[in-house]
Amino acid sequence: MTEKTKIFTVAEVPVGLEQQWLQHLRDFDTANPGCHFVVAADMLTKSMAEMIDMLKIEPGLTFTEIFERERKP
């Protein structure tokens, strides 16, 4: 197993830049094999559908792929 570093980040992003920030994380993840991001978002003024829409990134992951990724303690 390769040694890993966990980095914890809380990002306060202006409304409208959420998807751009998440795409930035996805681009880094795609460009650097071995990286894995677990992301959660919360915004009291958005519906669940709006939050899901905000999480659309390229290349996308299917619902199944998200939960099939290997989880390490």
Distance of CA 6 to the CA centre of its chain: 15
Q: Is the Cα dihedral 58, 59, 63, 69 positive or negative?
A: negative
Contact 2, 34 (CB under 8 A): yes
Determine the average pLDDT of the residues in 12-30.
Answer: 87
- Give the alpha-carbon dihedral of 46, 62, 2, 33, to 10 degrees: -90
- pLDDT, position 73: 47
In the predicted structure, residue 68 carries a pLDDT above the cut 50: yes
What is the chain's mean pLDDT, rounded? Answer: 79
Residue 11 pLDDT: 87
Least confident of 9-13, 27-31, 61-65, 67-71: 67-71
Q: Where are the domains of the chain?
A: 18-68
Position 67 scores a pLDDT of: 62
pLDDT for the residue 30: 85
